[in-house]
């Protein structure tokens, strides 16, 4: 059964108060996936008005990924849709699905991977076809093609019907976007701890850089604009480290401790940049994903120069929010899940490791390694479970 869900996106003004265009598209009804996780209580995850948010890690197409997408397109352009087919059921069934676009779109072929990423614009409609609604675009590579690359990337996302947060074509756009999840308004804000190239002197707002005070100000402005849930995407941390670093731990603690009007300023933190899955943790009552890993990336070498297969391991985060008990109260996470996934380099496909079909001996070790990293800071005691 197909349920129509209207997606309303508001581009945030200096006070995040201006409305942008509305768009409508189809969504499948949410189904509780089979698996080991016990169903949530009827008055929580299944309460009227509850919504589910899914988030995935970095999209970083290197040369091998670009070659595969060209092959999947039959040699005419690039098609990334087959790569994401294995997780489309999870992404498309969420009320709100967020990705992390760690690249920018090039003006024309040849497109490139590291060190300066310039990806085909066809990636945007492929992400939309998988069911994503908004992408964080603040990353170390956000200025790999300068201000033109920022503009080109956001134009392509707009054309594909995808919202975005983290990079901007103007100061008004820089503070993020508001999205509709069911009957709930969700703010998506995004920041990076740095870029490989300097910000354009005349466009200091081109990429949102991590600053605790600014994040809190933006979150509070989003509340003023009507956001009931505030989600912050952060490109942070040390590459190749399973454990979050001191900066991640400190910033997570400070952001989750910040309150105004009787509720937290930030309701969820989603991290990327480490290239490997990192821990989930509930900090001051708020879920923090320190590192989702990279959902799409080619073979990579770590800082030691050795191939590191962890670069192709990641998680999908899935959080079900339940309505507050009183008007103006906090939306609580009633159900928290992670879905382990791996990018199969040979097939060029994202594989859902939570599904029974993906639990063969060859993949069990990968799944278990991801689970160990995700649960390394005690998230299981707060109810985090592995989903399918």
Token representation of residue 260: 């105004």
**Cα distance between residue 313 and residue 311, in whole Å:** 6
Query: What's the whole-number average pLDDT of the chain?
Result: 88
- DSSP letter for each residue of 302-342: -TTSSB-GGGGEEEEEEEEEE--SSTT-PPEEEEEEEEEEE
DSSP 240: T
- Contact status, residue 226 vs residue 269, Cβ threshold 8 Å: no
Q: Are 286 and 258 in contact (CB under 8 A)?
A: no
Residue with tokens 């997408």: 69
Instruction: Please answer whether residues 54 and 96 qualify as being in contact, where contact means their C-beta atoms are separated by less than 8 angstroms.
Output: yes
Query: 264-273: per-residue pLDDT in tens?
Result: 999 999 999 9
- pLDDT confidence band for 360 (50 / 70 / 90): low
Position 36 pLDDT exceeds 80:
no
How confident is the model over 91-146, as pLDDT tens digits?
A: 999 999 999 999 999 999 999 999 999 999 999 999 999 999 999 999 999 999 99
CATH topology of domain 26-31+38-386: Purple Acid Phosphatase; chain A, domain 2 (3.60.21)
- Residue 326 or residue 4, greater confidence: 326
pLDDT at 22 over 50: no
Q: What does the pLDDT look like over 181-190, one tens digit per residue?
A: 999 999 999 9
**Is residue 266 a contact partner of residue 256, using CB atoms and an 8 Å limit?**
yes
pLDDT, tens only, 192-206: 999 999 999 999 999
d(CA 251, CA 256): 8
DSSP 379: G
Mean pLDDT in residue range 273-288: 97
Picking from 171, 258, 182, 270, the residue whose alpha carbon sits closest to that of residue 223 is: 258
Buried b (16+ CB within 10 A) or exposed e, 221-238: bbbebebbbbbbbbbbbb
Query: pTM to 2 decimals?
Result: 0.90
pLDDT band at 359 (very low <50, low <70, confident <90, very high): low
């Amino acid at each position: 059964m197909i349920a129509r869900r209207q997606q309303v996106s508001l581009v945030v003004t200096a006070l995040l108060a201006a409305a942008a265009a509305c768009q409508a598209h189809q969504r499948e009804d949410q189904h509780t996936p089979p698996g080991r996780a016990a169903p949530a209580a009827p008055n929580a995850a299944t309460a009227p008005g509850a919504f589910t948010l899914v988030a995935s890690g970095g999209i970083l197409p290197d040369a091998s990924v670009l070659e595969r997408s060209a092959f999947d397109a039959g040699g005419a352009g690039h098609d990334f849709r087959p790569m994401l087919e294995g997780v489309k059921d999870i992404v498309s069934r969420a009320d709100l699905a967020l990705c992390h676009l760690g690249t920018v779109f090039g003006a024309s072929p040849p497109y490139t991977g590291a060190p300066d990423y310039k990806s085909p614009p066809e990636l945007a409609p492929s992400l939309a076809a998988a069911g994503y609604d908004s992408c964080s675009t603040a990353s170390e590579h956000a200025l790999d093609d300068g201000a033109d690359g920022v503009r080109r990337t956001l134009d392509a996302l707009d054309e594909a019907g995808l919202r975005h947060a983290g990079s901007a074509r103007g100061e008004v756009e820089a503070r993020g976007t508001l999205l509709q999840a069911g009957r709930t308004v969700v703010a998506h804000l995004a920041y990076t701890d740095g870029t490989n190239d300097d910000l354009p002197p005349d466009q200091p707002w081109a990429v949102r850089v991590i600053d605790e005070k600014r994040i809190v100000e933006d979150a509070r402005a989003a509340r003023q604009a009507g956001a009931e849930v505030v989600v912050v995407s952060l490109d942070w941390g040390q590459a190749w480290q399973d454990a979050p670093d001191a900066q991640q731990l400190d910033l997570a603690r400070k952001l989750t401790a910040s309150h105004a009007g009787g509720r937290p300023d930030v309701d969820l933190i989603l991290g990327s940049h480490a290239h490997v899955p990192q821990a989930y943790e509930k900090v001051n009552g708020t879920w923090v994903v320190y590192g989702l890993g990279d959902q799409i990336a080619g073979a990579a070498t770590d800082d030691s120069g050795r191939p590191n297969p962890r670069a192709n391991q990641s998680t999908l985060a899935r959080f079900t929010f339940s309505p507050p008990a009183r008007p103006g109260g906090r939306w609580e996470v009633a159900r928290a899940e992670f879905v382990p996934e791996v990018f199969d380099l040979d097939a060029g496909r994202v594989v859902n490791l939570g599904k029974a079909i993906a639990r063969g001996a060859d993949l069990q070790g990968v799944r278990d390694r991801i689970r160990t990293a995700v649960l390394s800071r005690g998230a299981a005691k707060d109810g985090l479970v592995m989903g399918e």
